[in-house]
Amino acid sequence: FKASRRLQPPLMIVDGMSIREGNLLVRDLKSRGYRVLSHSYGFSALPSDTPSFRRIFSSRYVEIRSGEVPPSIDPSTPIWVSYPDEILHHAARIIRPPEAYERTRDVVFRVLDRIIESCTLTITSDHGYIMVGARWPIPAEAERLLKAIFGGSRFVRLEEMEDFMIDKLRRIPVEKSYVFMDDEYCYVKGRYFWRVSGYRRTISHGGLSLMECIVPVIVVEI
């Protein structure tokens, strides 16, 4: 997917904001008095994770990490907000998505309040995520196979897999397979996940599902 190359400032990338949060943000932007010019959707890079997006995006940006917003922001440089991914996926205390959204929304509003000039800003995301607790059911045999291949991830490089395993997966009919392979990676399809010892996150991403790969694109007047 190459559309992220077309993203130009004024631009805010909200790390890990899925279409769940995007729909809520549109509502809250309007209630705050912002004029939302459009609300549409785009696609993440593959794998649907931050490093893959950044390789394609390949641009300098101002990073807003841990909710620390500078006193003024120049919209001529893209803005990268580390929430909600930082607090859903990487923080010492992982929090639930509803609280993560509220904290993300508050940071986004603080950023908007500190933009130093009027502009038309695009707000989008690098990827979405699946809810681990709301995964699709999977047979025990398939769960053991996926766990052996992926561990606690939703994608793996083909070069890290045994050739016999790649051949085995390729022989499975598409309609019966839990994975998709391109020339470089193997991805988990849909909302499948499995029990991993010590895994305490509430979300996962990097695979190939609508919730991971479809991202909101919101254009707002500042």
pLDDT for 79 beyond 70? yes
* Distances in whole angstroms, Cα of residue 56 to Cα of each of 28, 51, 96: 30, 9, 29
2 torsion bin: left (phi>0), alpha (psi -120 to 50), beta (else): alpha
* Distances in whole angstroms, Cα of residue 125 to Cα of each of 4, 42, 188: 10, 9, 21
Q: Of the ranges 84-88, 91-95, 145-149, 212-216, which one carries the lowest mean pLDDT score?
A: 91-95
* Distances in whole angstroms, Cα of residue 210 to Cα of each of 57, 117, 164, 200: 21, 35, 29, 23
| Single-letter code of the amino acid located at 163 | D
Mean pLDDT of the chain, nearest integer: 93
Residue 94 confidence (pLDDT): 77
Q: CA–CA separation, 211 vs 213, rounded Å? A: 6
Beta carbons of 57 and 63 less than 8 angstroms apart: no
Residue 222 confidence (pLDDT): 93
DSSP state for residue 154 in the 8-state scheme: S
CB atoms within 10 A of CB 113: 11
The position carrying tokens 């766990």 is 147
Q: CA–CA separation, 155 vs 127, rounded Å? A: 14
pLDDT for 2 beyond 70? no
Rg (CA), the chain: 18
pLDDT for 1 beyond 80? no
